[in-house]
Structure 1
Amino acid sequence: MSDLRLLLASLLAGLLLPLCFSQLPSLGWLVPLLPAALLLWRVGAAGRCLCVLLCGLVWALIFHHQAIAQRLDQALDGHTVQIEGRIAGLPEQTETGWRFQLESVRRQDSGETLPSLRLHWWGGEPVAAGELWSFETRLRRPRGLSNPGSFDYEAWLYAAGTGGLGSVRGGERVSASASASWREALRARFSAALAPVPEGQRLLALLLGDKSSLSDSDWEVLQATGTSHLMVISGLHVGMLALTVFWLTRQLLRWGRFAWAWPQLWLSAPVALAAAAAYAALSGFAVPVQRALLMCALACCMQLWQRRPSPLLIWLAALVVVVALNPAAPLRAGFWLSFMAVGLLIFGLSGRLALQGVWARWGSAQWVVYLGLWPWLVLWGMPSSASALLVNLVAIPCLSVFLLPLALLGALVELFTGWPLLLQYAASALGLLFNGLTWVAGFSPLVHFAFPGWLGWLCALAGSLMLLSPLSRLLWLPAGLCLLPLLLPHFARPDQGELQLTVLDVGQGLAIHVQTAEHDLLYDAGARLSSGFDLGEAVVLPALLASGVTRLDMLLISHADNDHAGGALAVQQRLPVERVISGEPERLAAGLVAEPCRAQRWTWDGVTFELLPGAQQQAASNDRSCVLQLSAGQSGVLLPGDIRQAGEYHLLPALRRASVLLAPHHGSVSSSSYAFIRQVAPRWVVYSAGASNRYGHPHPKVVARYRELSVEPVYTAVSGAVRFRLDGQVEPELTWHWREKARRFWHEQ
């Protein structure tokens, strides 16, 4: 068994290895790899492990090359075309329309086959899974924002097999309900049955894995209490269902009327596995469900073959099978959290003679998962819930032992008899559980930990495993020392008199982090989109945490336009902020109180800050932007917000030379006059604008103007977030472009 575990681990390493590559090697490298692998098989145990590793590497490389080749053609990027395709999965209704996956896609004019697309239809008609539609769609390559600490949207799309994105301009249904999927039909039927119950649609998440049935406030409650895993079809639910059906089948076969002459295991195991597979199909076979189903299948097979493999071997085999079927699956956080939770339970509970009784083992299981998953949550930038340990002790039995069986029984009764009462009872019980979770969430803080670097993270991982090992009483001191990088991470900050400037990639908007030796300032915070997506929460806050920021000395909002101020409230709610200043305090969102921008000057850690207020209150909103000048020795930075040429002329007497200039108004043609550029005389100009944005920023005339005056451009749409370091010298240092620094092969070039 040990040799088999070693071979499986080697195969897994080969399958995972390409995910570390910034670029994929050409397929030509596979020609010598396969013969080399076959030769190594005969060179002892080490050679066999290396052979299996190379085979896994070859398989993964072939998969990734094919996946990359199936992306949307560059020639169609940014073009509007007429396409036809079939709705896949369960469409998600948003605040502004519908978001869904489109498969079997082709162009209607040429018949060209297109990859699977993720579309958003603003204000569109309801769509259903399985329907065939014709859409007028503006297509783009699968590209996302690129910032330190934030969610890798491109990795998420790649793992889902999405080859392109699209914004629907108009559509027409080609074929309707005749092709609708059974999941969509079940959702419609159960939704109607649950309509009389307040918030009853939540139950669809448990029955069908329909995450869209939970509101944003529901997800906030679940996150605050560490119970998000309970409200989708998870591996836990699949395993519990399999065990329940297995036990019920065995009890039924022992009853006289249904006595089974053959070994009961030969019927109980397949029936339990079939029930688990049916329930897994309701979720669309998400990765955690795949893991649970595979482990159930392996356990059943081993029982039928009268073998007793170790739980670790079954876990490792399921892990390898999932990755072999989809080598991009490890790019999802759910993959690691699901598999690691089970692996930790095997490691932390196996062979513990001291754990007697159901409740002792149950409490120990919750402690193992709570502590063991802590480093993995940090790795994926997820917060920890202070109440998760205690809440799950109660919530998991309530939901898995009582509520889920009641919901499944109610669903079956409703399907076969049309009687919805049991289903509605389950929805009401779920509502009571949510009321309790909401009460706990009111005083349960979320704890955010910054990623401490790979060395610090590996130390913390080792520390958590020490505390869960049988020798934890002997290893508590070294384990505590290993956990210190997570509790007290060290982040490099500028020296005295130096300045670090990070312009974040927030699409069509602005957010800049200014850091000195002991102070932090945020200039603007990105937008809050009409779809509900908040860039302050999703991009700005993670980037600040990734730089070790625990509080802001100043939040400076240039003016109240959404692309500058929309994300500010989310940042203020999650980080202590000493002062908030804005050029238009009266127009800010409710709950965001700021003092007006007035001319003032101060020094932090040897760096000079100077505020230059914009035009008077009767002026246009853009010209009221609060302008910030920074000086570190002989180097300077100018952040002018959205001022136009009239605002530039107003400020000319107060402007000093600056090495780094943020292009006013994202490079609009109404800004960046010749007089302004010559007065500032920058070395670099940064355009903070979205890729292919509808405003055409930066305008070609403005780009040509800066180029004419020998100013080097930096585009956040191309480079992602960019960081400058000013150490008092004449020329600043462009430290990195994040898209290049963190590049992996699935990222757009």
Structure 2
Amino acid sequence: MDVPLLLTALIAGMLLPLGLGELPPVWLPALLLCLALLLCRRRRLRWLIVLCVGLFWSCLFHHHLLAQRLTPALDGIRVTVVAQVDGLPEATETGWRFALDKVRLAENDQPLPPMRVHWFDGQPVNPGESWRFEITLRRPAGMANPGGFDYEAWLYAQGIGALGSIRSGERISEAPRFAGFAALRSEIRSRVSAVLEQQPGGVRLIALVVGDKSVLAREDWLVLQATGTSHLMVISGLHVGMLAAAVFGLVTLLGRFGWLAWPWPRSWLAIVLVIPIAGLYALLAGFGVPVQRALLMIVLALLIRLLYRQPRLWTFWLVAFAAVVALNPAAPLRAGFWLSFVAVGLLLYGMGARLGAPSLWWRWGRAQWVVFIGLWPWLMLWSMPASLTAPLANVVAIPWVSLLVVPAALLGTLLELLLDFPWLLKAAAVALNWLFDGLGWIAQLRDPERLAEPGWPGFLLGLAGIAALLSPVARILWLPATLCLLALLLPAQQRPPPGQLWVTVLDVGQGLSVLLQTENHDLLYDTGARFSSGFDLGEAVVHPALMALGVRKLDTLLLSHADNDHAGGAPFVAAHLPVARVLAGQHADIEPVLQAQPCMPGDHWQWDGVRFEVLYSPPPPAPPNEQSCVLRVIVGNSAVLLPGDLGIRGEYQMLDRPLTADLLLAPHHGSRSSSSYAFIRAVNPRWVVFSAGRHSQYGHPHPLVVERYRELEAEPVYTATAGAIRFVLDDTGKTRREWSWRERARRFWHEDQAASPGG
């Protein structure tokens, strides 16, 4: 039986459940496996048995992992737990973020799942230490938006069953003497930090020594993203492979000159040394998916060498792929898994079957081209920007890091730990800083491109074009291949037909952002928050969602007022999308770079048969929330009303204006100081949308406010449980709820929708 076919069938079986909205019960794949064993006795059909084995194992694994999640009864509850610090703690702008294992409730010793926690203004912790924490628990849920990062999938792939915010903590015991590789990583990080912290930019090197990416500043990541070199600043498969090759070459060289007294073949000694050294480096790196892939392929290649076999390189690739997925069937939920394996697969495909012996520089340049063009559709699939300067930057950056910085960093770390000799470590940090200086210059040439999602037909056509363009017959197929590539540039998203308005309320947690689209125009009302930690919802949620929805420019950016949760993300959005004009309530307090014009009551305009009216926006000395710019949009006999953070005072002042609307964005996220009976009766909405954070610290929406809307026959909808929501209004007077993103993009690992605490 063909081994590659069996491996492909096994991989397909393990991947199948990841496309399901609901996970089938374990008995179903078990039954399929039994049927396959009974019916598929022919040799040619044995791949079906292997596929069913993969399906059964994957479903069994996922059911076990889902069972480890925090129970709904503890969601949002503050408790006292006893736990052990796991992994490498990361310093943040506001405290410490780390993982907890062996977690138990202090009151009854009930076990809890492994969790990821953040201790605001907390004290440093070390791996292996036991602590007693007062902590607020949450189930692993995140924001749900088109084009957005699937935080729930990221947590699930790491086996994290709960989140937590620590209120206070008390150390119970120090870490044991042998606390595992996490403690060793922490110790190495401390020693390296002590050497490099006085050197400007020196701590960047820690990312390449122990895989701690938190040491990189936001500006560093922007430079790496702009030049397509982010992969170089994590301990990747490339670094592990280069280390293994260096050890193998060194042993072979020493043996050739007779400097090693070894009675057996020299390759045996090389293998005995290469695997432990590469494995140790992989463990110090945190054993991520790219490192797992590289280590598996190295081990397979060396073992095959011992057996004097010459299997195809694709067999190595498939075995490593199958092994990584078998170890963790949730690993393919992370972008790094696909980018790592696809990059290696592209090199095997694009660099193989070449006649003649091209020069080293030709092969190196082509490798950059193959990875650059081949990864483009995968970056689009994961809503990640692609850098047009990546081939230029990587031609120099890859050998600089792999052949100079990483070897010097590892040897320098060893010398520092054993001999207290820091100079080689400092030299490696200088070399890395020189590289960042060069990358910073390249980054100024062009911003990374984030293209619209082409949809599955366009994605598959693009893959076909790339396969043809990288094939040995590319000179013959270049024209049809190029035409197929153009499909990647065609956004799959449609526009509203004439006479329709699409209202998409994004899920931005505690904040607001609403996209209003007509046939040819787009208006964005608010942009979510930007936090002191550097996390910007304009960058992380709003801009990716606009790109995924096919928005290429904004005719108007309207900011209801200057509060951070409404206008914080505006600078990023305006810097990365053409914006014709910016209107704002409380415009004098909006960031000057936006050049916002005041939102004037009575202003109105018409786009594609849809009328936009500014109803209200009082100037100072009104309180900030009461200066919110209120927008009403009318399509025939239907309307939507967006009142920002308006309170009861402003609501009463608007009662003499036409307020009727089928769809209402709840004023001030449903706070108790808003949504008066008189206002709700004047609007008479069919739906009211509460844009507030899950377990909102402000108690939004307030239960009494929700009950008030229900009493007046308005149906409440919550972004915290539904994710982004789209409503469609048309000129026939019909308004309908088109979709919620949690329903539309649901997979079995996503948090179930539940009634809001306010409802």
Return 490-499 or 582-591, whichever deviates more. 582-591
- Structure 1 segment 2-151 matched on structure 2, within 5 A: 3-45=2-44, 47-151=45-149
> 2:747: which partner in 1?
744
Q: Is the 8 A contact 2:29 2:52 kept in 1?
A: no
The offset of 1:178, in angstroms, is 4.3
Contact 1:644 1:664 in 2 (8 A): yes
Matched, 1:542 2:548: no
Counterpart Cα distance in 2 of 1:257 and 1:62: 53
SS in 2 for 1:654: coil
Give the match's secondary structure for 1:360.
helix
2:414 aligned partner: 412
Query: Aligned with 2:654: secondary structure?
Result: helix
Structure 1 spans left out of the alignment, 5+ residues: none
The residue number in structure 1 matching 2:755 is none
The answer to whether 1:571 aligns with 2:569 is no
Question: In the TM superposition, what whole-angstrom CA distance separates every residue of 1:527-576 from its partner, at most 9, and x where no partner exists?
Answer: 11232211111011111001111111111000011110111111111111
2:297 corresponding residue in structure 1 = 295
SS of aligned partner of 1:23: coil
Q: Structure 2 counterpart of 1:110, which letter?
A: N
The whole-number CA distance in structure 2 between the counterparts of 1:699 and 1:297 is 58
Determine the structure 2 residue equivalent to 1:377.
Answer: 379
| TM-score computed with the length of structure 2 as normaliser | 0.97
In 2, distance between residues paired with 1:667 and 1:360? 63
Deviations 1:603-643 (A, max 9, x none): 01110001123223101111100011101111111001111
Deviation at 1:407, TM superposition (A): 1.1
**2:31, 2:577 → 1: CA distance?**
54
- The Cα shift of 1:490 comes to 4.1
2:564 matched residue in structure 1: 562
Residues 159-203 of structure 1: CA deviation (Å, up to 9, x unaligned): 010000000000011123545611111110111111232111000
SS in 1 for 2:656: helix
Indicate if the aligned counterparts of 2:586 and 2:619 stay in contact, CA closer than 8 A: no
- Correspondent of 2:641 among 627, 634, 638: 638
Residue 277 (1) aligns with residue 276 (2): no
Structure 2 gaps of 5+ residues are: 753-759
Query: Which residue in 2 is equivalent to 1:673?
Result: 676
1:242 to 241, 244, 249: 244
Please tell me whether the aligned partners of residues 452 and 490 of structure 2 are also in contact (alpha carbons under 8 angstroms): no
Identity across matched positions, percent: 57
1:412-431 counterparts in 2 under 5 A?
A: 412-431=414-433
**Separation in 2 of the partners of 1:193 and 1:517?**
60
Query: What's the CA shift for 1:31?
Result: 4.1
Question: Aligned partners of 1:177 and 1:691: how far apart in 2?
Answer: 35
| Correspondence for 1:507 among 494, 506, 509 | 509
Query: Structure 1, residues 334-357: CA drift from partner, whole Å, max 9, x if none?
Result: 000000000000000112124512
Look up the match of 2:756: none
The equivalent residue for 2:662 is 659
Query: What residue number does 1:458 align with?
Result: 460
**What count of residue pairs does the alignment treat as equivalent?**
747
Report whether the alignment pairs 1:584 with 2:583: no
Q: Distance in 1 between matches of 2:637 and 2:259?
A: 93
- Corresponding residue of 2:160: 162
Please say if residues 130 and 175 of structure 2, whose CA atoms lie closer than 8 Å, have aligned partners that are also in contact.
Answer: no
Check the 8 A contact 2:379/2:386 in 1, yes or no.
yes
Alpha-carbon distance change, 354 to 659 in structure 1, aligned in 2, over 3 angstroms: farther
Counterpart secondary structure, 2:594: coil
- 1:703-733 Cα shifts (integer Å, max 9, x gaps): 1111111111111111111001112122311
User: How is 1:166-185 mapped onto 2 (pairs within 5 angstroms)?
Assistant: 166-176=164-174, 178=176, 181-185=183-187
Q: Which residue, out of 513, 531, 547, partners 1:529?
A: 531
1:485 Cα offset (Å): 2.0
- Aligned-pair CA distance for 1:455: 1.2
Deviation of 1:30 after TM superposition, in Å, equals 3.9
The residue aligned with 2:604 is 601
Amino acid at match of 2:88: L
CA contact (8 A) 1:614 1:647 kept: no
- Give the deviation of 1:33 after TM superposition: 2.3
**1: CA distance between counterparts of 2:610 and 2:319?**
57
**Structure 1 residue corresponding to 2:449, chosen from 424, 438, 447:** 447
Q: 1:584 and 1:439 mapped to 2: Cα distance?
A: 38
Tell me if the contact between 2:454 and 2:489 (Cα under 8 Å) persists in the aligned partners: no
* Alpha-carbon separation, structure 2, partners of 1:684 and 1:280: 53
Corresponding residue of 2:730: 727
Shift of 1:311: 0.6
AA of the residue aligned to 1:377? L
- Pair 1:469-2:471 in alignment: yes
Moved more, 67-76 or 613-622: 613-622
Runs of 4+ residues over 3 Å off in structure 1: 177-180
Measured in 1, the distance between the counterparts of 2:30 and 2:581 equals 62
Q: Is the 8 A contact 1:615 1:650 kept in 2?
A: no
The question of whether the paired residues in 2 share the 8 Å contact of 1:648 and 1:676 is answered with yes
Conserved in 1, the CA contact under 8 Å of 2:127 and 2:175? no
Q: Which amino acid aligns with 1:201?
A: V
Q: In structure 2, the residue corresponding to 1:591 is in which secondary structure?
A: helix
Aligned to 1:338: 340
Distance 1:175 1:199 in 2: 34
Name which of structure 1's ranges 314-323 and 410-419 shifts more when overlaid on structure 2.
Answer: 410-419
**Counterpart of 1:265?**
267
The 2-side partners of 1:697 and 1:406 are apart by 54
Q: Does structure 1 conserve the Cα–Cα contact (< 8 Å) formed by 2:458 and 2:490?
A: no
2:592 and 2:170 mapped to 1: Cα distance? 40
CA separation in 2, counterparts of 1:50 and 1:178? 48
TM-aligned CA deviation for residue 15 of structure 1: 0.2
1:306 corresponds to:
308
State which drifts further: 16-25 or 121-130.
Answer: 121-130
In 2, the alpha carbon distance for the partners of 1:28 and 1:431 equals 56
Tell me by how many angstroms 1:128 deviates.
1.7
**CA-to-partner distance for each residue in 1:675-695, whole Å, 9 max, x for gaps?**
211111111111111111011
User: In structure 2, what is the Cα distance between the partners aligned to 1:346 and 1:270?
Assistant: 27
- Once residues 208 and 590 of structure 1 are traced to their aligned partners in structure 2, the CA distance between those partners, rounded to angstroms, is 42
Give distance in 1, aligned partners of 2:310 and 2:604: 74
The one-letter amino acid of 1:70's match is Q
Range moving further from structure 2, 371-380 or 728-737: 728-737
Instruction: Give the structure-1-normalised TM-score.
Output: 0.98
The residue matched to 2:481 in structure 1 has which SS? Answer: helix
Q: Aligned partners of 2:637 and 2:508: how far apart in 1? A: 30
Structure 1 partner of 2:694? 691
Tell me, yes or no, if structure 1 residue 202 matches structure 2 residue 204. Answer: yes
Which amino acid is the alignment partner of residue 657 of structure 1?
T
Cα-to-partner distance string for 1:644-684 (whole Å, 9 max, x where unaligned): 11101111222232111111111111111122111111111
Task: Report if aligned partners of 1:287, 1:335 keep a CA contact under 8 Å in 2.
Answer: yes
Residue type at the aligned position of 1:98: W
CA distance in 1, matches of 2:449, 2:288: 27
Contact 1:510 1:525 (C-alpha < 8 Å) held by counterparts = yes
Q: Which moved more, 1:117-126 or 1:408-417?
A: 408-417
Deviation at 1:319, TM superposition (A): 0.2
Q: 1:552 and 1:657 mapped to 2: Cα distance? A: 27
Letter in structure 1 aligned against 2:138: R
- Structure 2 CA distance, aligned partners of 1:223 and 1:167? 30
CA RMSD of aligned residues (A): 1.2
CA distance in 2, matches of 1:41, 1:407: 54
Question: Tell me, what secondary structure is at the counterpart of 1:342?
Answer: helix
Distance apart, 1:113 and its partner CA: 0.8
